[in-house]
Structure 1
Amino acid sequence: MENSDCSQGGKPTDSAGERQPYLWGKLHKGPAGEVEAWLPLADHCTDVAFVFLALCRTNAAHRALSQAIGHAPTPVHLERLAALAFLHDIGKCNHGFQAKARREPRDTAGHVHEISALLYDPDLQKRLLDSLGFDEIASWFDDAEGTLGMLLASISHHGKPIKLDHTETNRYRRYWLPRDGIDPLEDLTNLTLTVRQAFPQAFTGDASPLSPTPELQHRFAGLVMLADWIGSHEGFFPFRHGPECRAAFAQRAASEAITTIGLNSQPFRSRLDPRAGFTDLFPGFSPTALQAALMDPPNVPVMIAESDTGSGKTEAALACFFQLFARGEVDSLYFALPTRVAARELYERILLFVKEVFRDNAPPVLLAVPGYAKVDGEQALPSEDNLWQDDETLRRRERAWAAERPKRFLAAPIAVGTVDQALMATMQVNHAHLRAVCLERSLLVVDEVHASDTYMRGLLRALLDHHTRSGARALLLSATLSADAREAFLTPQSAVPVVPSFSEAIQSPYPALTGSGSAPTPIGGVGTRQKAVQLEPAPYLAEPKALQPRVAEALRAGARVLVVLNTVARAIDFLRAAEADPVVARTLFCVNNQTCPHHGRFARADRLILDREVSRVFGKGSPDGALLLVGTQTLEQSLDIDADWLITDLCPMDVLLQRIGRLHRHTRRRPPGFDTPTCTVLMPAEPSLEAWFDAKGRLHGLAGLGRVYPDLRIAQLTIERIGAGCTIRIPDDNRELIETTVHPERLARFTGPPWDGHQQQLLGTATAHGLAARTALMPWHQPFGPELRFGDFDERLATRLGLEDRRLSLDPPITSPFGQTLHELPVPGWMAGDTDATAPEAAPDATRDVVTFRYGGRDYRYTRFGLELDR
């Protein structure tokens, strides 16, 4: 094949008579609209097709394709799929798209939806099929309609299935008719000559027809999306490359590109010894029973490791990943956490592990959190628009390819992020197919799965189902998983989980490792750490400040006190009261000499330094001395912090156990009177919550209960289990504590008023959330065609109901109370209401300590306490 740079002409001219590139695929324009550089369409399609082929030859993609096909694809099968991937941009042949090269473009068009005219106009459809040689392509498959689905999957490379609409035929038809000596469908015929030269085996080789099932179509679509994104990267595929045949160049460049990005895992695997033991991975540490078990993971799609907080589940998961990666059973790792704070906290630990284990052959390690993304520990990422002069900077930029867009996060060889990024791989959001094929390479580790509500559980079940259907593996970590949740995650989505009875559930071993299709296996014994915790009820839920004298006494004794409350308002109120006591005020947690709480309503730049300071003063190796930290749920998950005394609002037992995980977490010298781990739980004055309901079973204002934690049956059972106070033994009592407060048989005892009304509300909410989850999920069973369409889901909203936060741009930026430059401020969705504006109504009024602004008809203030409504 001759280089198409030379063979493609420049037929059209603009109004000034300047020749324009003809049948271009990519181009750059100068400030006056002139074309400065361009890449022929045939070259771009060649680049993408060879990237596709290189991806299909990697371990994980080959395995996933084999699952979709029903057997391993032969080289001829792969070339045929690559030839279809080549055709992804056939829509660029139309006049409207090619007109964009003119200095003054007019009557322009896109290149995806315009395909509709070719499919619905009878004359154009016949010419399209003839140009493509569709009859020959259809012989590659055992179903002609499915073959068209494969072609549409290729064309849908911009992130969503192409919307085919017969009503748009007349609108787009003119772009495909011959005009001024140019016939777009003749150009398409010429393109097919290029693909025949690049992939001759596809057309001359012998292979059995494939079945173009929806599963294959969707997986193929994701690989084409990924290939198109890589094949469009000018660092790997420049616009000009001398006289060399583009196919030969593209084949070599594709291999180099996926290796540099980290999609080819073999170079990173080549120096690993799969016989390495736990102490080789973590020198100086003997494995716990859980860690030893996961050094030889069972060969099952889904594993669930249940063990108490602080028992080394993270290291166990990393040991599991090492073994699977070294043996070639997975190509990457995605470690999914419930919150951004937890992801940022864990990232440094995993980065250190990778550096120690892989040494100078380490793959890129990504912090996959939008706005906080890091690669190899470095925050700043080079922009694609910059020109880089030195090889080292270029190498760093290429390693950071997956970090440049959130949609590409899952392409990283090793990534730590939120569970939301993983869930979007199975939802109707842009580039979901790309996310899915990237995630299928990974051992998917999901931490803190106990936190899932009905909606999240539905999404996670769907994700696990699709993920494992590709042959991929998943590991769920939990300290507080209930039997019904465990069975749900281990049961295919198409089946109904069988929930053990209450008596069976509380007899189930803990800690335990459970695999798909098997019963929980006990993993206690050597290395299992025991902790006896005193649960102390205090009737101050309505007035937490009544506990302040005891807090002051504890601080005088030198204790580190952690207060976790259910709402931001309660945390701020408690902190303000604490500041009024001179003794307490001197011990308050502060950042840059500003006392403050810890919660999720801080600007991004401020949140980073708050998190860093919490880890410094409460983390492992932190100094002794009196300290009071007040916060919300942001302190309860995945943070490696340690307190001498924990004060917490009443909350569900599984959440309470998570909070207790921050109590006496590390081995250290305790101040007098705090040798016994004590958790003081703020309770209502009356032992029954019934007084807080109205006649219809609605709850009125009780420390976030009913809103943050809607099921008051669980809260009531938690009150009863704590009683007048008790000692719990962790981990021995974990199973009984959870099942006693959440098992369906225990919840069924709540009958009669006001519980009947409350249960009706819960049922309505659960039904709505379940329906919302099903509606938002990707219809993997649906083939590409007119019926396959995405709903209008916003990626900010899709994975969590009710968390549609707004991020308000600040221009000019302001200085925060902590001295940070703020370019944006967050506003929670429940505060913003129906407003979708992206900026305040007027420039904020900012001083050193207070920022005030108006947004959506409401007044706000941002201070060292975070964001509040300015009432």
Structure 2
Amino acid sequence: MYTDIPAYFRYWGKAKKEPAQAGANYHLLAYHSLDVAALGWLLLNPNNTLCKNLANQIGVKPKWLQSWFCFCLALHDLGKFSRAFQNLVPNLSEYLVSPQPNMAYGCRHDSLGFLVWQEHLAKPWLHKHNINSKKRFLQPWLEVVTGHHGKPPVSGLVLDDYFNFEDKAAVSGFVADVEEAFLTDIDLSVLSDKSIYKKVREHSWQLAGIAVLADWLGSDQRYFTYNAGDDFFKYDSLKCYWSQTALPSANNALSAAQISAKKIAPFKSIQQLFPFIEAVTPLQQYALDVVLSEQPQLFMLEDVTGAGKTEAALTLVHRLLDLGTADGVYIALPTMATANGMYARLGEAYRKMYHTAEKPSLVLAHGASQFSKQYQQSIASFIPDVVISPQVKDQDYQDNEESASAYCSAWVADSRKKALLADVGVGTLDQALLAILPAKHQSLRLLGLSRKVLVIDEVHAYDSYMQGLLETLLEAQARQGGSVILLSATLPFSMRTGLANAFMAGRGQVLPVLTNATDNYPLATQIPAVQHCETKVTTRKEVARKVFVEHLASEQKVLDLIQMKVAQGKSVCWVRNTVNSAKKSFDDVSLLEGIKPDKLTLFHSRFAMIDRQRIENHTLKIFGKNSTECERCGQVLLATQVVEQSLDLDFDILITDLAPIDLVLQRAGRLHRHVRDNKGNRLSEGEADQRGQPTLYLFSPEASENAGSDWLTSLLPSIEYVYPDLGQLWLSAKLLLVKPSFNMPQDARRLIEGVYGLDVKSEIPDGLSDNSFEARLLKRQERGMAHLNALDLQKGYSMTSAENNSGWDDDVNIPTRLAETTYAVALARVVDGRLQPYAQDESQPRATCWALSCVNLREGDWEKVEKSIPKQWQQQIEQLKEQEPSLKWLQILPLVEGLLACYDENKGWNSSGVAL
């Protein structure tokens, strides 16, 4: 009946997960292969910037790249011709090959595809085309396409364990017919060029991202309906299916995805994005005036808090977009809270960078973005006008190998992975760092960054490990032609040169000499420079100020100060270094006479997400830029580092625990941040603040010359777990206490280099020198671990690029930060004898309510409380996990008798609340 059709038409590529689903039971492998190739064909349109840039980087013509790579994409699923794979869903149809039970599916089909190419197809193919080339010259292309499920294929397999004679013949016939469709008029001798081979490896990361994206979109059944059984008689050949079905369907899928480059609005002025700006700051004027290059470039903008760094950065972004060097932007921040704040700010401006007829997408990218109602409501505005049928699920191949469409459904809703493909993304730095770690789908993230300006805020806020990863990210971004803008209040010279060196390494160039003068601040740096590499700028007069420093050497003095200032109607914040310290101080302040309970707030990281959101919003309302006398009067905030970065907060009185100097300066930026009258009401820009000279109260011991290892123990217990270098803390205290004030910006560079400079170690007391040496050694080890964990970009998209670590695993197992193990614990209430989410929000899906109920606990805290869960609830917890897939990877803590004291909505997690 079907002996006259090619053998490759007897293999399924997609199979329905549920037989009851409407439509055909399966989709032919040959057709699915062309579906994916069709997406690649459109993504690599020779007229598109993506194709032009890649072709130029590799050293080939755009049309050649489109034809050759789409031929390779059509081979992405060669591993499914394996009888071992076909055995997974046997007896789908009499038209398909028969099962062969003795062949076990012991390896993923992506690796099997690479195997059959390397061991069965490569040499005959080279011989057929008389290409004088080694087999390895083709290897990068096939690693890229067969690694379409987010990680490269593995090697070392035996062909005959997975493919029988009939399978091999089908594979050969399929490749020959695909070749006829794509390669009839291109010069294949290019493949024997060794220099091309090297460049392909170097830029294989973007090609891998295209392969992942093409497979994701090409697996969407809303556009690529199943063709099975007699269906293959509708088409005379692969060419017929390609023109009549694959390409039109691909056009529809790509259009609906809305990931194509948008038309940019010509840049005219800074007021285009920020109409509220009446007079630009000096840093913003630099962003308007600096001569830009069409080549990848790095900007480092250093200025005090309130100097308009964000607006300056986005002005540069818009100018770079208008110049044609990028299509979008990703803004990376240190925390989810800071990302939320930036998302709200950017939502008012980002569309003005694009033509009015465009609908550019704005994505919030971090682990809790699904809980932002503002973001979730925005998603609906990007749904295509065309109503399409819902995506149905494909058959999963095995437990650890979802089909592309099954993963696609989750992935589309997972903004963390989608974010870097959006036109504009705002999120944590972690989402960008995953692009250079051996994390599943990292190539898709890297592809998303390739035509973006990467803006990284609060660069000084990252530890040695993240700094090491950041250097690799900058190298990767420069390598693939992207620009970077780094923002910071101040950068230590060693950090500034390290980041600049990494970027220039990605360009294959040498870094020019940078200066380290103490008066060289505020500073704008452009590398490579068109005119001037370093440009000193002035600070706008409203934020240039003298900050007085007052020493508080006991907790009682702090409490007395808070009580006095509240009586005067002032708003007060005490920034503590640990959660336990913040909680203790919250209790102590609550006992003070004159402190009203409704005007006392505790803000730290150990809250369930729903409570943290409530407290964050409350904090922004009470202390934010629009707060008034009525809201601010007598308010007290006990907080940890969550208020340290990027939140636009303003306190009349600021008390801080001793911390490294850069963080103290950052905290000081929340003191008299806005211009206000003596009661706390906002004044117009240009007027003088009426609250008196800003005073930073430093809670710290004296910086005595005979300080020993117990120097901080009594006053700031556990501080060494947060800031382990006691020498740096001593230097910070000395610099802040030796004079009663400091001037910003004049003293900024002196203060930073006075703690982080290479020549200050000799000033540290002997009693702290051993600790400081060990802390510096630990930082070097952390940097070494970062470079060990990061991908070796030179080796290209291959398993060999991750040989130094555990390898390409899911995101949750790839560390972007070094920290102790934590658990996401969902709190549960008991309602009518059943466990229900702690977060009760009828406007949210139940799965979201469970996620909003989560609090992150340290390993020790969870292990302690887990043992105390009453046995009668343990069985219900297991049943609940089976019933609700969203709970599969969460721990569940029932707030029942004996455990109620573990959590309080206003205080958060209480590790001592377990009734043992």
With the shorter chain as reference, the TM-score category is: 0.7 to 0.9
Q: Secondary structure at the match of 2:719?
A: coil
Match of 2:283 among 260, 271, 290: 290
Cα offset for 1:342?
A: 0.4
Answer yes or no: is the 8 Å Cα contact 1:646–1:660 preserved in 2.
yes
Which residue identity is paired with 1:336? A
Cα offset for 1:326?
A: 2.3
Cα offset for 1:816?
A: 5.5
* Bigger mean CA deviation after superposition, 300-309 or 352-361: 352-361
1:749 aligns with 2:763: yes
1:235 paired residue number: 222
Q: Distance in 2 between matches of 1:637 and 1:41?
A: 51
1:795 aligns with 2:792: no
Cα offset for 1:159?
A: 1.5
Match of 1:598 among 603, 620, 634: 603
Measured against aligned partners, the alpha-carbon deviations of 1:417-460 in whole angstroms (never above 9, x if no partner) come to: 00011111111211222211211121000000001222111111
Which residue identity is paired with 2:87? A
Match of 2:517 among 499, 505, 516: 505
Unaligned runs of 5+ in 2: 93-98, 392-404, 681-689, 829-834, 878-892
1:431 paired residue number: 441
Q: Distance in 2 between matches of 1:47 and 1:375?
A: 35
Measured against aligned partners, the alpha-carbon deviations of 1:623-648 in whole angstroms (never above 9, x if no partner) come to: 22221111100001000111111011
Which residue identity is paired with 1:364? S
Answer yes or no: is the 8 Å Cα contact 1:158–1:431 preserved in 2.
yes
1:164 aligns with 2:155: yes
2:270 paired residue number: 278
Measured against aligned partners, the alpha-carbon deviations of 1:8-36 in whole angstroms (never above 9, x if no partner) come to: 8999xxxxxxxxxx412222132579985
Match of 2:729 among 686, 700, 715: 715
2:498 paired residue number: 488
Structure 2 CA distance for partners of 1:187 and 1:218, relative to 1, 3 Å: same
1:351 aligns with 2:347: yes
Cα offset for 1:549?
A: 2.4
Which residue identity is paired with 1:622? S
Match of 1:371 among 368, 371, 374: 368
Which residue identity is paired with 2:257? I
1:521 aligns with 2:538: no
Measured against aligned partners, the alpha-carbon deviations of 1:193-215 in whole angstroms (never above 9, x if no partner) come to: 44235424565788675522221
Q: Distance in 1 between matches of 2:733 and 2:605?
A: 27
Q: Secondary structure at the match of 1:771?
A: helix
1:128 paired residue number: 121
Q: Distance in 2 between matches of 1:221 and 1:228?
A: 11
Q: Distance in 2 between matches of 1:130 and 1:7?
A: 26
Measured against aligned partners, the alpha-carbon deviations of 1:271-327 in whole angstroms (never above 9, x if no partner) come to: x123x1112222241322222222355325211011111221111121111111222
* Bigger mean CA deviation after superposition, 600-609 or 753-762: 753-762
Structure 2 CA distance for partners of 1:443 and 1:112, relative to 1, 3 Å: farther
Cα offset for 1:391?
A: 2.9
1:317 aligns with 2:313: yes
1:638 aligns with 2:646: yes
Q: Distance in 2 between matches of 1:853 and 1:136?
A: 76
Q: Secondary structure at the match of 1:563?
A: strand
Measured against aligned partners, the alpha-carbon deviations of 1:838-857 in whole angstroms (never above 9, x if no partner) come to: 997864999xx9946999xx
Measured against aligned partners, the alpha-carbon deviations of 1:70-126 in whole angstroms (never above 9, x if no partner) come to: x353302321122112211110111122223337997786596467678879xx966
1:764 aligns with 2:777: yes
Q: Distance in 2 between matches of 1:103 and 1:737?
A: 74
Measured against aligned partners, the alpha-carbon deviations of 1:713-755 in whole angstroms (never above 9, x if no partner) come to: 221111111225522222232222212222111234336x333
Match of 1:173 among 160, 181, 188: 160
Answer yes or no: is the 8 Å Cα contact 2:40–2:70 preserved in 1.
yes
Residue correspondence of structure 1 range 251-270 to structure 2 within 5 A: 251-265=247-261, 267-269=262-264
Cα offset for 1:480?
A: 2.0
Q: Distance in 2 between matches of 1:867 and 1:374?
A: 20
Q: Distance in 2 between matches of 1:723 and 1:61?
A: 55
Which residue identity is paired with 2:43? L
2:33 paired residue number: 45
Which residue identity is paired with 1:558? G
2:206 paired residue number: 219
Structure 2 CA distance for partners of 1:350 and 1:137, relative to 1, 3 Å: farther
Answer yes or no: is the 8 Å Cα contact 2:191–2:197 preserved in 1.
no
Structure 2 CA distance for partners of 1:642 and 1:125, relative to 1, 3 Å: closer
Q: Secondary structure at the match of 2:27?
A: strand
Cα offset for 1:786?
A: 6.9
Q: Secondary structure at the match of 1:716?
A: helix
Q: Secondary structure at the match of 1:772?
A: helix
Normalising to structure 1: TM-score of the pair? 0.84
Match of 1:550 among 531, 543, 561: 561
Q: Secondary structure at the match of 1:100?
A: coil
Which residue identity is paired with 2:360? P
1:619 paired residue number: 624
Which residue identity is paired with 2:203? L
Q: Secondary structure at the match of 1:584?
A: coil
Which residue identity is paired with 1:760? F
Answer yes or no: is the 8 Å Cα contact 2:369–2:375 preserved in 1.
no
Q: Distance in 2 between matches of 1:188 and 1:836?
A: 56
Cα offset for 1:810?
A: 5.3
2:881 paired residue number: none
1:828 paired residue number: 857
Q: Secondary structure at the match of 1:509?
A: coil
Structure 2 CA distance for partners of 1:416 and 1:117, relative to 1, 3 Å: closer
Which residue identity is paired with 2:346? I
Q: Distance in 1 between matches of 2:91 and 2:908?
A: 50
2:96 paired residue number: none
Cα offset for 1:675?
A: 2.3
2:242 paired residue number: 247
Q: Distance in 1 between matches of 2:146 and 2:409?
A: 28
Q: Secondary structure at the match of 2:670?
A: coil
Q: Secondary structure at the match of 1:29?
A: coil
Cα offset for 1:551?
A: 1.1
Cα offset for 1:862?
A: 4.9
Cα offset for 1:783?
A: 5.0
Q: Distance in 2 between matches of 1:422 and 1:7?
A: 48
Q: Distance in 2 between matches of 1:329 and 1:479?
A: 27
Structure 2 CA distance for partners of 1:730 and 1:223, relative to 1, 3 Å: same
2:335 paired residue number: 339
Q: Distance in 2 between matches of 1:33 and 1:403?
A: 22
2:887 paired residue number: none
* Identity value in percent: 25
Q: Secondary structure at the match of 2:721?
A: coil
Answer yes or no: is the 8 Å Cα contact 1:112–1:156 preserved in 2.
no
Structure 2 CA distance for partners of 1:815 and 1:717, relative to 1, 3 Å: same
Answer yes or no: is the 8 Å Cα contact 1:698–1:757 preserved in 2.
no
Cα offset for 1:363?
A: 0.5
Structure 2 CA distance for partners of 1:546 and 1:750, relative to 1, 3 Å: closer
Answer yes or no: is the 8 Å Cα contact 2:71–2:183 preserved in 1.
no
1:144 paired residue number: 135
Which residue identity is paired with 2:727? R
Structure 2 CA distance for partners of 1:837 and 1:419, relative to 1, 3 Å: farther
2:395 paired residue number: none
Normalising to structure 2: TM-score of the pair? 0.80
Structure 2 CA distance for partners of 1:197 and 1:60, relative to 1, 3 Å: same
Which residue identity is paired with 1:409? A
1:869 paired residue number: 911
Q: Secondary structure at the match of 2:602?
A: coil
2:179 paired residue number: 196
Structure 2 CA distance for partners of 1:576 and 1:125, relative to 1, 3 Å: closer
1:813 paired residue number: 836
Q: Secondary structure at the match of 2:525?
A: strand
Q: Distance in 2 between matches of 1:346 and 1:204?
A: 49
